[in-house]
Amino acid sequence: MSRGLDAVRYLPEYMAQLREIKELYNALQDEFDLMYACKDHAMGECFVMTCEDFGMEKYERLLSLVPEYGDSREDRRFRILAALNGDTPYTFERVLQKLIVLCGEGNVTMEYAKDIYTLRVMIKLEAKRQFSTVLKMLRRMLPCNISLKCSLAYNTHRILSGFTHGELAAYTQKQLKEEVIV
């Protein structure tokens, strides 16, 4: 797979016309391609959104994170982003923005009851795997005088009423409550 780098064009014209030099550089083309592929891979490992196992291991070691059993690459990436993004916000709108970035648009709701200093966060089942990470991040970010009530938005009768009894019969009671039903 050639990257399109034609090394011969970097030679002086009188050398580029020599058949031996052309053959030499054509023989080296695979090495050039491999070199650029390795460089691209190494650059990708430097950024959270493009890193793979090696880069994630480095970030996890740096941030003292331990991957949980069964974590996918996206779960690990989410945990790294949450740790890097966990600085103290100054407004509740900023907290909500961070939660939306981490959990996805429409997967989180937040209410702040300022009279009783309580923050209620509800995470939809679509973002269930991020729940423990979000909870840790919120506990780290919020001031000590604010009580946190974080929960999952389990399926309710209203959500399940759109399905027939026959469709729901394929699920257990626990699945009906805790899994995303499509």
Rounded to an integer, what distance in angstroms lies between the CA atom of residue 182 and that of residue 163?
Answer: 9
- Residue 1 confidence class, pLDDT cut points 50, 70, 90: very low
C-alpha closest to that of 77 among 133, 24, 39: 133
Alpha helices by DSSP H, the chain? 13-16, 19-44, 53-62, 73-84, 92-103, 131-141, 157-160, 165-168, 173-178
Q: Which residue has the tokens 């890097």?
A: 84
Length of the chain equals 182
Output the pLDDT for position 86. Answer: 60
Q: How many CB atoms lie within 10 A of CB 105?
A: 7
Rounded to an integer, what distance in angstroms lies between the CA atom of residue 140 and that of residue 88?
Answer: 8
Rounded to an integer, what distance in angstroms lies between the CA atom of residue 3 and that of residue 37?
Answer: 9
Across the range 86-111, mean pLDDT stands at 82
Output the pLDDT for position 111. Answer: 92
- Cβ atoms of 180 and 125 closer than 8 Å: yes
Output the pLDDT for position 116. Answer: 92
3 state DSSP class of 17: coil
Alpha carbon 51 to its chain's center: 10
Rounded to an integer, what distance in angstroms lies between the CA atom of residue 154 and that of residue 179?
Answer: 8
Output the pLDDT for position 27. Answer: 85
Q: What is the pLDDT of residues 117-153, one digit of tens each?
A: 999 999 988 888 888 888 888 888 888 888 999 998 8
Alpha carbon 135 to its chain's center: 16
Output the pLDDT for position 5. Answer: 66
User: Which region among 1-15, 54-68, 119-133, 161-175 has the lowest average model confidence (pLDDT)?
Assistant: 1-15
